[in-house]
Amino acid sequence: MLEENKQLIRRWFEEVWNNGRSEAIPEMFAEDGIAHGLGNVSSGELRGPADFQAFHRNFREAFPDISVSVEETIAEGDMVAARCLVRGQHMGGTLGFAATQKPMEISGIAIVRIRDGKIVEAWNNFDFMSLYQQLGVM
């Protein structure tokens, strides 16, 4: 089971982010799933596939060439931690400011709980401060 859970996370980053397949989100993210650390400032979370698809659409429009490399995964029980490196060029204005055309590279960690082959909860800690600094908006 641990290896299957690791494969799910690698598949998530490959299909959803690297290949831009938003239709894969409901295949891997539970209807009652919660993603912490990616939503708006007040709640900081996304609930269900529809919320995640909206976030995904905005982020992919801002960084259409986004690439997420999963550098390492660790699994225990129903949890998987993935250490990632994210790269892309800011080409769209969907983050609340005009496209800067600048490249970015940030690191991050996602810790994910899996149930019945789907993500049910995720704690995301990506270096968004560095992202905004690299884009020159902070």
Rounded CA separation 116/101 (Å): 41
More confident residue, 43 or 104: 104
58-109 per-position pLDDT tens digit? 999 999 999 999 999 999 999 999 999 999 999 999 989 999 999 999 999 9
Structural contact between residues 94 and 58, judged by C-beta atoms closer than 8 angstroms: yes
Predicted TM-score (pTM) of this structure: 0.93
Residues 97-129 have pLDDT tens digits of 999 999 999 999 999 999 999 999 999 999 999
Residue type for 137, please?
A: V
Indicate the pLDDT class of residue 42, thresholds 50, 70 and 90: low
Q: Band the pLDDT of 44: cuts 50, 70, 90.
A: confident
Q: Which residues form the domain of 21?
A: 2-135
Q: How far apart are the C-alpha atoms of 92 and 98, rounded to whole Å?
A: 7
* Cα–Cα distance, 70 to 84 (Å, whole number): 5
Report the domain count for the chain.
1
| CATH number for the domain that contains residue 82 | 3.10.450.50
